[in-house]
Structure 1
Amino acid sequence: MITGANRGLGLETVRRLIEAGHTVYAGMRDTESGAEARALGAHVVRLDVGAQASIDAALDEIPELDVLVNNAGILGTSFGVDDLDASAIGSVLDTNVVGIVRVTQAALPKLRRSDLPVIVNVASGVGWPRWLTTEGRDEYPVPSIPYAASKAAVIALTVQYAKNLPSFRVNASDPGYTATEFNGHSGHQTVTEGTDATVALATIRPDGPTGEFHDRTGRIDY
């Protein structure tokens, strides 16, 4: 199951995993926007990561679950300090961080029945302090506080979930600066390049890593 699967990185992840032979449930808030996912062969389910009832209903439609890709996220409305307030950061954290917890906790019973349960949390290099402070990196000029803080939290919660679920493979992916509607198509990577890490982690072997942060070149060292 992939959240936020109606467009951009989520939709491309749907396409690639179906192409690889997987049965994919494409979660999205508005199922009317799921025409492309349906055309690819996905089972479209209504799933709003901010609403527990919606999450529970979506999971009721899925008979078994091996892989959860927590892709849904928002950029938010605050892009500096002067426009930042508690509401602006709260809405981003609720979707990007608390939303992952809502979906993951609800999915755990089905994942625990899998022979190889896998969770991939789509994070970002913008949540990586070393890259935020390295001139020349794509992340360096980003001023937004809520989005960066939320993605840093996603990386941390990924590590903690991995420690608590040793039989799972739980990892975070960094899509990199990818051209999508999310950034006005300003990124220099294609959506295929932007989903390389997510797809690799979603199709991981039983002896693969867990509790790690990867981009399309492999592990990002702490």
Structure 2
Amino acid sequence: MTFSVCVRAETPEGPAFGVGVATDAPAVGALAPYVSHRGAVSTQSFVNVRLGRRGIALLDDIGVEDALPGLLARDEDSDLRQLHGVDADGGAFAFTGDGCEEWSGDLVRRDAGVTAAGNMLANGETLDAAADAFLDGAEAASNDPVPDADLVPRLLDALDAGRDGGGDKRGHSSAAVAVKAPKTTAYHDLRVDEHGDPLAELRRVYEAAEAASGEFTEEKKSRIFD
């Protein structure tokens, strides 16, 4: 019932990480996406939030290609899980259990710093469309390397493209983006918990938060945000 992308992008001040996710269930932002200064992880399908919480914590010490398989090996219901992510050292990993409902699958574009996964999708084109849209968004960024602030609209574009490519075959009712960058802002953790058009509403929330963030001085930001 879910599709998501986990991404890594280099910025002038260091790597930024993000997750974009949409599903036909309420409050996906409270369950699926996890980000830190060391990586990004999404846990979904028959979701186990411990995989996300523990997975992102482990990235402080080991790579995603060791952390996530190790957690799945100790999960008796791993055949029902989807788990994927990227890390700060160039690693990328994705897993789809055999018990996930069709269409289900994942993709890894290690060199590009992108993974994607989905279940109960209309088709597999959803994941390619989402990944391609995120990567294509780098061309529209204001400089190269990509500035961290551009990750959020690129994730929103990825979610829109995934939906247009097929998306959740039952539709969508919640969506979220989460970003961890060298400089965190007011619009790096946004979610729509239940809405008839959650992706459009999430973009509206982003635009409102981005506009409001202009009122914060750099000194205030340093006191408010991680």
Shorter chain as denominator, the TM-score bin is 0.3 to 0.5
TM-score by length of 2: 0.35
- Which has the larger helix fraction? 1
- RCO higher in 1 or 2 (8 Å CA, sep ≥ 6)? 2
